[in-house]
Amino acid sequence: MKIQDLSAELEFSVEFYDVDPMEVVWHGNYVKYFEKARRALLNKIGYGYVEMKASGYAFPVTDIALKFVRPLRFGDRVRARAYLEEYENRLRIKYELSNALTGKITTKGMSTQMAYNIAAADSCFLCPGILIEKVEALLKAGDGEGQG
């Protein structure tokens, strides 16, 4: 399995509290939707926020980019996907939001997170070994799929 194949997705509905008076998702909420997909990906890796904190690290977002393609509206069913792009020196995750009914992409984006050692109160320029080991174990396990 290649790193680009390591992904997670989930579906949810656009709630009333996420839209503006025109019933279109307010632009700031797309970042929240990316976060939902990121959490799904990190949990799939086995290094969600609980595991991060237990290992002594946090991963603050250092950069985020969004490209709005089509609006999401109140009641739309959203498919949110997150793809791992980098994991050794930083976490870089690519996102796609789409309308689950039509399959049309509505939003694309990317986020970068840097490891932060909580006890040392210092940024790290390499991700902790525990994260690297978990990702590489998943990648290796994926290489064996379909063989046998």
Domain span including residue 44: 3-142
Count of residues in the chain: 148
Question: What is each CA distance from 42 to 25, 120, 135, in whole angstroms?
Answer: 25, 23, 10
Residues facing residue 109 across a β-bridge:
66, 95
Residue 37 lies in a domain: yes
Prediction pTM value: 0.92
- 116-125 per-position pLDDT tens digit: 999 999 999 9
Residue 71 lies in a domain: yes
Q: What is the mean pLDDT of residues 137-145?
A: 79
- 48-88 per-position pLDDT tens digit: 999 999 999 999 999 999 999 999 999 999 999 999 999 99
The rounded percent of the chain whose pLDDT value lies above 70 is 96
> How many angstroms from the chain centroid is the CA of residue 53?
17
Residue 93 lies in a domain: yes
